[in-house]
Structure formats: structure tokens, C-alpha cells
Amino acid sequence: MPISSESKKPRGLGPFDFGGGSGVITGAASGIGRAIAMNLAGRGNDLALVDRDRSGLDAVRAELTRQYPDSVISTHVVDLAQPTDFDDLATAVAAVHPRVSLLINNAGVALNGTVDEISMADLDWVLAINLRAPIAMTKSFLPHLQRESGSYIVNVSSLYGLVAPAGQSAYAASKFGIRGFTLALQSELIPRGIGVSVVHPGGIATNIARNSRTGSLLDPEEAQRRRAGFARFLTMPPERAAAQIVDAVAHRRERVIITRTAVLVDVISRLMPVNHRHYLARQLSKPR
């Protein structure tokens, strides 16, 4: 079984032109975002790296500059949880990168907890980063993307943008939301020559488990147990996930599902649109 599932590229659009402009990546200080930056720089892309982690951004920029001294790499410290339209960020990026042709909304956070275990503040936090920020980033950068022929947008959803197991009520809401937004973008923008992909990663070995939150109404001991249980599913190196995402951009594939588990769960959820939740419950309860 393949480790990813990808739709065919839309008709009428050629392969993406790496090196023909600059890419903007959120969540670029670590994990999949960092790996995407390394991959794109190797293909000749100049890059604008966005994250709230200044030291992490500085480290990625230093490594990219060392490996690709001719590349133009800028860093932008931004907290995507803040309720802003990001127009100032787009202006700052355009001042360094006048030809923005690729936007990758990769940044995301995890929140574990049933609906009665999370607070509204917890919900606002995960929705702000996972859903509102990609929408706002897209709106702010769209005028720049429209100036470049064949430009591209990637929105990273999740396996939990395909299925929604117990304990993921808020996180799944955010990831189903970005999936729906991306499907609408595909209908709106692909006919105008702007490619759009939605990515559904399974368990990728990033800092998302370590940095995840649990419902603030949980006691600390149970919260720690939940984080540890979440972390055991994260096995694929981020470099492999990044390579599949960049390859999807190259071939303009609209839908990307990463890891064997995610592919299997997607198939099962479509074959059993209601009863798949019983399968998920059994799988998530298995010791590892």
C-alpha cells in the first residue's frame, strides 16, 4: 500500500515553476515547515519563513544560508493566534520578495479533550491558529499570488480533517474547517490559474505532541497521560512528509494523504461513513 494518496493535477495547468518566485511558509521554525523550507531552497526558491519562535527561525535561516548562499531568505516573527488580517506581514514579505508565487499554510497546534473537557478559551486558541490564520493569510497574500502566473496555495489539514475520533472535538473542528475552506478555494481559484492543495498528514514526528494542549478542565496528571498517548502515533520523519507535499505542488495534486494509516483510515471512512468510528476507537485503544 502506498504511504500517500494524491489526486490528479487539474487540467490546463502545467507543472509548478520552482525558482520562479518566492515561497511563504508558516510554522517554518521546526517540523514539517522546516523540512519544506529545506526542500524548496534546494529547488531554487527564495523563502519567507514565518513562525512565533524567533530562535528557531534564526537557526533555520542560518542553515539555509549556509547550504544555499545565493538564496534570499527572510524571517518574520508572527503569532498566528492573534486576531489580525496579516496585511502588514504580506507587505513586509513583499518588500523583500516582490514575486510571491507559493503560500504554504503549514502552522498548526493540537488540542486534546472531549467537548466537556475544553474551555472556550481552548477552543478559540486552536481555531485561531488552525483555521482563522490560514484564511487570513490567504486573503492577505492572494493579491500578490494573483500577479504570478501559475502560483500555488497549500493548506495543511490533518488525518483528523477526514475523521473525528473521541477526544478531538475542537482539533477536528479546526481541521475539517480548513479542509472545507480549501475545497471552496479550489473551486474559486483553480479556474483562475492558482493551484490549491489540501494535505492530510497522519502521524508525523514533529513537536506537535510536545507542544499540544489538553483541555484546561482536565487534571494535570490526566493531561500528561493524554499527551504521551498522542505522541506514540507520530512516527514518520517530517522530511518524508515535506517531500510528498512539495511533490504534490510540483504536479499540482489537489489532495494529499500522508502515511499508510491515514490512507487506510480515509478508505474505511468512505466505505463506512458512520460505523468507521468503531474501528477508530479500537485502533486508538491498542497499546504500542
pLDDT in tens, 158-174: 999 999 988 889 999 99
What Å distances lie between residue 205 and 48, 141, 160, 268, CA to CA? Answer: 24, 29, 16, 24
User: Does residue 38 lie within any of the structural domains?
Assistant: yes
Cell numbers describing residue 131:
483555521
User: Does residue 268 lie within any of the structural domains?
Assistant: no
The one-character DSSP state at 204 is B
Least confident of 132-136, 151-155, 268-272: 268-272
* pLDDT of 94 above 90: yes
Q: What pLDDT is attached to residue 19?
A: 86
Task: Tell me the backbone φ, ψ of residue 252, rounded to 5 degrees.
Answer: 55, 50
Cell numbers describing residue 176:
475539517
CA dihedral 248, 198, 21, 62 (to 10 degrees): -90
Q: What percent of the chain has pLDDT over 90?
A: 66
Q: What pLDDT is attached to residue 202?
A: 79
Asked if 50 contacts 28 with a C-beta cutoff of 8 angstroms, the reply is yes
Cell numbers describing residue 36:
519544506
CA dihedral 236, 239, 244, 248 (to 10 degrees): 140
Q: What pLDDT is attached to residue 2?
A: 43
Round to whole Å and give the CA distance between 181 and 192. Answer: 17
Query: Among residues 125, 123, 154, 149, which one has the least CA distance to residue 138?
Result: 154
pLDDT grade for 288, boundaries at 50, 70 and 90:
very low
User: Does residue 270 lie within any of the structural domains?
Assistant: no
Its domain, for residue 18, covers: 6-259
Q: What residues act catalytically?
A: 171
Domain containing residue 233: CATH number: 3.40.50.720
User: Does residue 29 lie within any of the structural domains?
Assistant: yes
User: Does residue 277 lie within any of the structural domains?
Assistant: no
Query: Among residues 192, 176, 178, which one has the least CA distance to residue 142?
Result: 192
pTM value? Answer: 0.87
pLDDT grade for 188, boundaries at 50, 70 and 90:
very high
pLDDT grade for 18, boundaries at 50, 70 and 90:
very high
pLDDT grade for 79, boundaries at 50, 70 and 90:
very high
Question: pLDDT averaged over the chain?
Answer: 87
Q: What pLDDT is attached to residue 88?
A: 97
* pLDDT of 211 above 80: no
Q: What pLDDT is attached to residue 282?
A: 64
User: Does residue 286 lie within any of the structural domains?
Assistant: no
CA dihedral 85, 86, 90, 95 (to 10 degrees): 120
* pLDDT of 287 above 50: no
- Stretch 144-156: mean pLDDT: 97
Asked if 119 contacts 217 with a C-beta cutoff of 8 angstroms, the reply is yes
- Stretch 108-117: mean pLDDT: 91
- Stretch 124-141: mean pLDDT: 97
User: Does residue 85 lie within any of the structural domains?
Assistant: yes
pLDDT digits (tens, 9 = 90+) for 39-76: 999 999 999 999 999 999 999 999 999 999 999 999 99
User: Does residue 154 lie within any of the structural domains?
Assistant: yes
pLDDT grade for 1, boundaries at 50, 70 and 90:
very low
* pLDDT of 221 above 70: no
Helical ranges in the chain per DSSP H = 31-42, 54-67, 87-96, 120-127, 133-145, 169-189, 220-231, 238-250, 260-271, 276-285
Round to whole Å and give the CA distance between 96 and 226. Answer: 42
Residue 27 backbone class (left: φ over 0; alpha: ψ -120 to 50; beta: rest): left
Number of domains in the chain: 1
Could you tell me which residues come within 8 angstroms of residue 261 by beta carbon, excluding any fewer than 6 positions away?
159, 202, 203, 233
Question: At CA 249, angle to CA 246 and CA 255, rounded to 5?
Answer: 105
